[in-house]
Amino acid sequence: MTIAKVIGSIVSTRKHEALVGNKFLMVETLACMDQDKERFIAIDTVGAGVGEIVLITRGSSARCSTHNINAPIDAAIVGIVDDENNII
């Protein structure tokens, strides 16, 4: 799992049929230890919004978090952090 901050939303009028109805969000990982920040797009499965700190799963685990296991998903938001004071 990865901890990231939602920094924006993505609007896509044309997309793979398995992704229709899903919300795409731009996220930026939080810098931890020696790791650099990274930006990427993630499917929102929990109703997250811009500015929130979220938990993200990637790879095949991301597909499992949606209703369509065959959808072309590489990253999915699976949780919203309630108290970010202890992680930053």
CA angle 46, 20, 70 (to 5 degrees): 80
Paired residues of 41 in beta bridges: 26
The answer to whether residues 2 and 56 touch, using CB atoms and an 8 Å cutoff, is yes
pTM of the full structure? 0.85
Domain boundaries, the chain: 2-80
* pLDDT digit string, tens, across residues 27-75: 999 876 667 788 999 999 999 999 999 999 998 888 777 777 778 889 9
Instruction: Please provide the CATH number assigned to the domain covering 2-80.
Output: 2.40.50.220
Give the 3-state DSSP-derived string for 8-43, with helices as H, strands as E and coil as C.
Answer: EEECCCCCCHHHCCCEEEEEEECCCCCCCCCEEEEE
